[in-house]
Chain A
Amino acid sequence: MAGKTLYDKLWDEHVVRQEEDGTALIYIDRHLLHEVTSPQAFEGLRLAGRKPWRVDANLATPDHNVPTTELKGGPETIEDPISRIQVLTLDKNAREFGILEFPMGDLRQGIVHVVGPEEGATLPGMTVVCGDSHTSTHGALGCLAHGIGTSEVEHVLATQCLIQKKMKNMLIKVDGQLQPGVGPKDVILYIIREIGTAGGTGYAIEFGGQVFRDMSIEGRMTVCNMAIEAGARAGMVAVDEKTIEYVKGRPFAPTGELWDRAVEHWKTLHSDPDAEFDVVIEFDGAQIKPQVSWGTSPEMVIDIDGTVPNPDYESDPVKANGMRRALEYMGLEAGMKATDIPVDYVFIGSCTNSRIEDLRAAAEVVKGHKVSDRVEQALVVPGSGLVKKQAEEEGLDVIFKEAGFEWRNPGCSMCLAMNADRLPPKKHCASTSNRNFEGRQGAGGRTHLVSPQMAAAAAIAGHFVDVREFL
């Protein structure tokens, strides 16, 4: 019998009940909540007279609607009345149902996918869900983690389980060594560009190979975060010494004898050498260059020394149509050099790239430079209060501010513009976020997905530029 993949192991450990048709009831160890996708779920519980099955499995924090500018008071002082209602509703629901929340003003508040691992609320081997597609982030710790809809949020609250069918196994193996200036974000953008936004649909993706073994845990989070942009609900990386080192000493991590027992188990959380994957895709890490998205789908990505593609050379008419629409929306011409694309806004943040290593990488490029006069606004939005504090202790805030960046409070911010941080129509934004969909960062806004280093370099140059020239 063939060995098991990491996904097989995680799945098997969490089956509560298996039906004959392949449907299974899967136990959920950790449920993370934020203010946008939870109110209707709590309302559903209330209407049905149900209570959370296991209150202690839940952790809540507001992030999507939170203002990133200094507020005089708490959430009741949020200017936008609808944002205010959502944040206050989360506070109220957490209180009513007894769920632990890091509310606005708490140093531990932040983007839910930054907060979970940072607090040790996400532990290796857990099943982790949240009403947010970027829950795949937590797979970086060897978890089975994926996004769910609001009905499923209610289902998890009420039963601590989900009704699921097992996905297929995909291994994406990237060996070799990355070039200097090329980071985790470039790796995942490159993968999505190669396999497409539906390439991973129906699969749980395990990221394996030298590149991911060499990568830090935060880097792995960036990669797993965007597994959903390749169509896969869940992405994951095997547990190794780095994972265990990362978890050690975090507030919700086990201690003492329990820690030793946990570590012993966590060390088994990797695919067996003889495990069989349904699909294996291999890339050479050394070939990956800094990436930049040109269009309105995360697969519309080119090398920084490349040119915007021409739809006339695309044989699939549906694809060619999509490319033409994207060119028009983005205000770009086919054949244009990536380095000729102007930059009006810069956003460094989001659940993809707002951790301390991301800020350090960007600050290293920014240090001693000024943001170009062409750039109308350059934002740095740390992923949590603790990331912000750490960055300030390292003096990163000073580097950013001296260069002309705005140093903000934690939240999702301009990744999806549910708070006041919005990209105006027709403006080009170098963004470290995860989605370049039409209107994502603000109606009519033009998003270009890049790594933190590339966003920093673009801010200084006023157009996209090969960050390798800055190093």
Chain B
Amino acid sequence: MEKFGRLTAIVAPLDRANVDTDAIIPKQFLKSIRRTGFGPNLFDEWRYLDVGEPGQDCSNRPLNPDFVLNQPRYQGAKILLARENFGCGSSREHAPWALKDYGFDVIIAPSFAEIFFNNCFKNGILPIVLPEETVDQLFREVEAQEGYMLTVDLEAQTITKPDGEVIHFEVDPFRRHCLLEGLDDIGLTLQHADEIRAYEERRKQEAPWLFLHLREIAEKYNQI
């Protein structure tokens, strides 16, 4: 994973609560067996006027001019400003893949759904939780001022507004460390392989029914 650096970018406001992962990336696009290429179908049903199909060239599709990401002033946005419970619903990691592929590195909202929140960190996206009043204020400022940009500094855990005001945000120290260093979780966990093995040995004594051999049983069952 790439290291997460300091970022100054245009902010796009998505003024809806409970944006679900079906809206972020509709199910017909989950059929890819790759992690990339989901960006053109991000928010597909809101973004385009026709019904999108996987594998289609999106460059000639009719855009919905009312949808925020289609407005010229928000082109190039890397920070998404959102409302409460963002990313609810399905656990599909295609949602953060689509957001990242489109270009979003940061999402700011008063609250996130948990699985989505987790999935963001695994894909180099920083989800930032801010109090509702702060988010409200940001919505007002973004909408009032064309070209509104924020600077997000993960190291310092700060967001700096165009007027110089600094907002502090909280982030889990372990996740922050992983994002800053671009660390692979699996590699980190495998450093504790001995502990995992020791746990398994203990559990095999305590609760041996958890270690039955599925394949063997299935084969025996087939013969009956």
Contacts and interface: CB of A to CB of B under 8 A. Distances in A.
A470 interface: no
A21 interface: yes
Contact of A438 (B22, B115, B203): B22
A45 B171 CA distance: 29
Contacts of A160: 196, 200
Nearest to B35: A40
B27 A416 contact: yes
Interface in B171-224: 172-174, 185-186, 188-190, 192-193, 195-196, 199-200, 203, 207-215, 217-218, 221
B100 interface: no
A82 interface: yes
Given A37-B91, A437-B20, A147 B208 contact: no
Interface residues of A, number: 84
A243 B113 CA distance: 30
Interface stretch (A149-157, A276-284, A352-360): A149-157
A123 interface: yes
Nearest to A82: B31
A16 B192 contact: yes
B195 A19 contact: no
B68 to A, nearest CB: 14
Interface residues of B, number: 65
B218 A151 contact: no
Given A231-B113, A437-B20, A443 B91 contact: no
Contacts of A29: 210
Interface string A119-131: 0010101100001
A152 B31 contact: no
B215 A100 contact: yes
A37 B90 CA distance: 11
Nearest to B31: A82
Nearest to A129: B91
B11 interface: no
A305 interface: no
B196 A322 contact: no
Interface in A60-89: 64-65, 82-83, 85-86, 89
Contact of A131 (B45, B54, B91, B215): B91
A40 B119 contact: no
A39 interface: yes
A161 interface: yes
Contacts of B189: 25, 155, 158-159, 161, 163
Contact of B115 (A48, A233, A437, A439): A233
B196 A161 contact: yes
Contacts of B54: 82
Contacts of B172: 21, 23, 165
Nearest to A164: B118
B141 interface: no
Interface stretch (A170-178, A257-265, A388-396): A257-265
Contacts of B27: 416-418, 440
A101 to B, nearest CB: 10
Contacts of A165: 172
B17 A16 contact: no
Contacts of B16: 321-322, 325
A39 B34 CA distance: 8
A1 interface: no
A155 B209 contact: no
B204 to A, nearest CB: 11
Contact of B85 (A53, A146, A201): A201
A197 interface: yes
A399 interface: no
A294 to B, nearest CB: 15
A254 B214 contact: no
Interface in A306-365: 318-319, 321-322, 325
Contacts of A154: 186
Nearest to B29: A82
Given A132-B91, A322-B17, A251 B221 contact: yes
B78 interface: no
B34 A40 contact: yes
A251 B83 contact: no
Interface of B: 15-18, 20, 22-23, 26-28, 30-35, 45, 51, 54-55, 83-85, 88-93, 96, 111, 113-115, 118-119, 122-123, 172-174, 185-186, 188-190, 192-193, 195-196, 199-200, 203, 207-215, 217-218, 221
9 contacts: A25-B196, A56-B214, A85-B33, A125-B207, A146-B115, A163-B174, A228-B89, A319-B17, A440-B27
- For the complex of A and B, list the 8 residue pairs with the smallest distance between their C-beta atoms, beginning with the closest: A151-B122, A39-B33, A149-B93, A149-B119, A82-B31, A254-B209, A147-B91, A150-B93
Given A36-B92, A89-B33, A439-B22, 14 more contacts: A23-B172, A27-B196, A82-B54, A100-B218, A151-B93, A159-B190, A163-B188, A163-B189, A251-B221, A261-B209, A321-B17, A435-B22, A438-B23, A438-B45
